[in-house]
Amino acid sequence: MDTMSLNMATVRSATSVSDARGSARDFLKGLGPPAIALEAADTVVLVVSELVTNALRHGGGTCTLDLTAHTDSIEVAVHDPSPRAPRMRTPDLNGCTGGFGWPMVNRLARSTAVTRQTAGGKTVSASLAR
Protein backbone atom coordinates (compact mmCIF):
# COMPACT_ATOMS: atom_id res chain seq x y z
CA MET A 1 0.00 0.00 0.00
CA ASP A 2 1.33 3.43 -0.99
CA THR A 3 0.36 6.63 0.85
CA MET A 4 0.92 10.37 0.47
CA SER A 5 -0.07 13.31 2.64
CA LEU A 6 -0.07 16.99 1.65
CA ASN A 7 -0.91 19.92 3.95
CA MET A 8 -2.64 22.87 2.28
CA ALA A 9 -2.78 26.17 4.18
CA THR A 10 -3.86 28.85 1.76
CA VAL A 11 -7.37 30.28 1.72
CA ARG A 12 -9.13 29.86 -1.62
CA SER A 13 -5.89 29.68 -3.54
CA ALA A 14 -5.92 28.38 -7.09
CA THR A 15 -2.24 27.64 -6.56
CA SER A 16 -3.05 25.33 -3.64
CA VAL A 17 -5.59 23.43 -5.70
CA SER A 18 -3.15 23.24 -8.61
CA ASP A 19 -0.45 21.97 -6.23
CA ALA A 20 -2.84 19.30 -4.93
CA ARG A 21 -3.61 18.15 -8.49
CA GLY A 22 0.10 18.05 -9.32
CA SER A 23 0.92 16.11 -6.17
CA ALA A 24 -1.87 13.65 -6.93
CA ARG A 25 -0.54 13.14 -10.48
CA ASP A 26 3.00 12.59 -9.14
CA PHE A 27 1.69 10.12 -6.55
CA LEU A 28 -0.24 8.17 -9.19
CA LYS A 29 2.70 8.11 -11.62
CA GLY A 30 4.92 6.70 -8.88
CA LEU A 31 2.68 3.74 -8.12
CA GLY A 32 4.11 0.32 -8.69
CA PRO A 33 2.15 -2.57 -10.11
CA PRO A 34 -0.66 -2.58 -10.63
CA ALA A 35 -0.36 0.70 -12.51
CA ILE A 36 -3.34 3.02 -12.71
CA ALA A 37 -5.08 3.50 -16.07
CA LEU A 38 -4.95 7.01 -17.55
CA GLU A 39 -8.72 7.54 -17.35
CA ALA A 40 -8.79 6.37 -13.72
CA ALA A 41 -5.89 8.71 -12.90
CA ASP A 42 -7.74 11.64 -14.49
CA THR A 43 -10.79 10.81 -12.35
CA VAL A 44 -8.70 10.72 -9.17
CA VAL A 45 -7.13 14.10 -10.01
CA LEU A 46 -10.59 15.59 -10.69
CA VAL A 47 -11.91 14.34 -7.35
CA VAL A 48 -8.81 15.69 -5.56
CA SER A 49 -9.42 19.07 -7.20
CA GLU A 50 -13.08 19.17 -6.18
CA LEU A 51 -12.57 18.03 -2.58
CA VAL A 52 -9.62 20.36 -1.95
CA THR A 53 -11.49 23.29 -3.54
CA ASN A 54 -14.53 22.60 -1.36
CA ALA A 55 -12.40 22.27 1.79
CA LEU A 56 -10.61 25.55 1.14
CA ARG A 57 -13.82 27.37 0.19
CA HIS A 58 -16.21 25.98 2.79
CA GLY A 59 -14.02 24.29 5.41
CA GLY A 60 -12.04 27.08 6.97
CA GLY A 61 -9.28 27.78 4.45
CA THR A 62 -6.92 24.96 5.38
CA CYS A 63 -6.93 21.26 4.67
CA THR A 64 -4.82 18.16 4.51
CA LEU A 65 -4.97 15.82 1.52
CA ASP A 66 -4.20 12.13 2.00
CA LEU A 67 -4.02 9.65 -0.87
CA THR A 68 -3.83 5.92 -0.29
CA ALA A 69 -3.35 3.34 -3.03
CA HIS A 70 -4.88 -0.07 -2.44
CA THR A 71 -4.66 -3.02 -4.81
CA ASP A 72 -7.89 -2.15 -6.63
CA SER A 73 -8.71 1.38 -5.47
CA ILE A 74 -7.39 4.83 -4.61
CA GLU A 75 -8.70 6.57 -1.50
CA VAL A 76 -8.79 10.37 -1.50
CA ALA A 77 -9.27 11.89 1.98
CA VAL A 78 -9.43 15.62 2.71
CA HIS A 79 -9.43 16.84 6.31
CA ASP A 80 -10.57 20.37 7.23
CA PRO A 81 -11.47 22.20 10.45
CA SER A 82 -15.19 22.71 9.70
CA PRO A 83 -17.77 20.32 11.19
CA ARG A 84 -20.23 21.10 8.35
CA ALA A 85 -20.72 18.20 5.96
CA PRO A 86 -20.96 18.81 2.21
CA ARG A 87 -24.52 18.87 0.96
CA MET A 88 -26.29 18.18 -2.27
CA ARG A 89 -27.87 21.26 -3.75
CA THR A 90 -29.25 22.34 -7.07
CA PRO A 91 -26.39 23.52 -9.28
CA ASP A 92 -26.43 27.20 -10.17
CA LEU A 93 -26.64 27.26 -13.98
CA ASN A 94 -26.71 31.06 -14.27
CA GLY A 95 -24.38 32.35 -11.58
CA CYS A 96 -21.12 31.53 -9.93
CA THR A 97 -22.28 29.84 -6.74
CA GLY A 98 -21.44 26.28 -7.82
CA GLY A 99 -23.28 23.23 -6.63
CA PHE A 100 -21.70 20.86 -9.17
CA GLY A 101 -18.72 19.40 -7.26
CA TRP A 102 -20.21 17.24 -4.52
CA PRO A 103 -22.78 15.54 -6.80
CA MET A 104 -20.02 14.90 -9.36
CA VAL A 105 -17.71 13.38 -6.72
CA ASN A 106 -20.54 11.09 -5.62
CA ARG A 107 -21.15 9.95 -9.21
CA LEU A 108 -17.47 9.30 -9.93
CA ALA A 109 -16.57 7.51 -6.68
CA ARG A 110 -17.34 3.95 -5.71
CA SER A 111 -18.25 5.38 -2.32
CA THR A 112 -17.96 8.58 -0.32
CA ALA A 113 -17.99 9.24 3.40
CA VAL A 114 -17.98 12.20 5.76
CA THR A 115 -16.50 11.52 9.19
CA ARG A 116 -16.61 14.07 11.99
CA GLN A 117 -13.41 14.14 14.01
CA THR A 118 -13.52 14.12 17.81
CA ALA A 119 -10.93 16.91 17.94
CA GLY A 120 -13.07 18.99 15.57
CA GLY A 121 -13.47 19.22 11.85
CA LYS A 122 -14.22 16.44 9.43
CA THR A 123 -12.75 14.14 6.84
CA VAL A 124 -14.39 13.81 3.44
CA SER A 125 -13.25 10.71 1.61
CA ALA A 126 -13.88 9.06 -1.73
CA SER A 127 -12.89 5.61 -2.91
CA LEU A 128 -12.17 5.39 -6.64
CA ALA A 129 -11.39 2.55 -9.01
CA ARG A 130 -7.72 2.04 -9.73
> How confident is the model over 70-127, as pLDDT tens digits?
889 999 999 999 999 988 777 766 777 777 789 999 999 999 999 999 999 999 999 9
Give per-residue pLDDT as tens, 8-28: 554 456 678 898 999 999 999
Q: Specify whether the CB–CB gap between 126 and 111 falls below 8 A.
A: yes
Cis peptide before 34 (omega within 30 of 0): yes
Report residue 88 CA to chain centroid gap: 16
Q: Specify whether the CB–CB gap between 41 and 48 falls below 8 A.
A: no
pLDDT band at 34; cut points 50, 70, 90:
confident
Give per-residue pLDDT as tens, 44-62: 999 999 999 999 888 888 8
Rounded Cα gap, residues 95 and 24, in angstroms? 30
Q: Does residue 69 register a pLDDT over 80?
A: yes
| Alpha-carbon torsion, ordered 54, 88, 45, 37, to 10 deg | 170
How far is CA 81 from each of CA 13, 59, 103, 117, rounded to the nearest angstrom? Answer: 17, 6, 22, 9
